[in-house]
Structure 1
């Protein structure tokens, strides 16, 4: 059995995390994981997309590698999807993370499928972080 090198990306694909809202407990769960990934991206980006982005102070507190971190501010959740697809498809990011603020935002099966295809096209991993729907 071949051992996987620590710095290599795992299989491309899309993951999803449902959280009640971006709260302190959410940050305690996700920020260390994302900080770790920022050190595993090699010569590609960890791209964070959202209408609300963490401050440099927050990023420093969790130990992010800011040389490989790219923050992209969006206007809304619809723009998140487009930016996420575009970023994944280009192949310049090893990891793409997007936080969807709107509880009423629905990411449909077809949109997920397009994002997953973009993950494979760009040899990247993606994480959707969203709130549970209210309906």
Structure 2
């Protein structure tokens, strides 16, 4: 059973029935986190059978959602190589049949990655010019579905960039880490 909820009101970890969310089965709804009312399979079936308008239904379901995108802000890109290399080493050690993709404008330090235990056969590096806008490349890497993780560095990301990347990561069923630096 799939329930498509329509609307556009989302708050952190709180999903209203009028939010855009697909549940592939009622078992994905954590009943321990339901606010005010208990929803069970028969109530969900009742809503579907009676064509209840989700925009007028007021039950709120609290569900722990896992974000697909994380943003990491580093004081300067000079510090980023060691931090990113450590993260990449850990991610490439995970058993996955998909890439860990690193989108960067800095030349990766292969010796450092190897010394940290990175599995280089699972690492795909996409080098971009420092002056290039990497958003399209990042979006493509996230959405393609051939990466388990995408780590991308850029001077800054707007909130709309992050929202777009979130959609792409969900489409590609991967995790993304957007790394930027603070401006002094």
TM interval, shorter chain, is 0.7 to 0.9
Q: Which residue of 2 aligns with 1:64?
A: 118
Q: Are the aligned partners of 2:86 and 2:113 in contact in 1 as well (CA < 8 Å)?
A: no
Structure 2 gaps, min length 5: 1-65
| Pair 1:128 & 2:178 matched | yes
Q: Deviations over 1:66-102 (max 9, x none)?
A: 11100110123653211110011000000000112x4
Q: What is the number of equivalent residue pairs in this alignment?
A: 119
Give every structure 1 segment of 4 or more consecutive aligned residues whose post-TM-superposition deviation is greater than 6 Å: none
Q: Which has the higher contact order (CA 8 A, sep 6+)?
A: 1
Q: What is the RMSD of the two structures over their aligned residues, measured on CA atoms?
A: 2.0
Aligned-residue offset at 1:29:
4.0
Pick one of 16, 23, 26 that aligns with 2:71: 16
Asked which structure has the greater CA Rg, the reply is 2
Q: Are the aligned partners of 1:38 and 1:68 in contact in 2 as well (CA < 8 Å)?
A: yes
Distance 2:138 2:95 in 1: 17
User: Structure 2 length normalisation: TM-score?
Assistant: 0.58
Q: Are the aligned partners of 2:99 and 2:147 in contact in 1 as well (CA < 8 Å)?
A: yes
Structure 1 gaps, min length 5: 1-10
Distance 1:27 1:55 in 2: 8
Q: 1:118 to 1:38 in 2, by over 3 A?
A: same
Aligned-residue offset at 1:56:
1.6
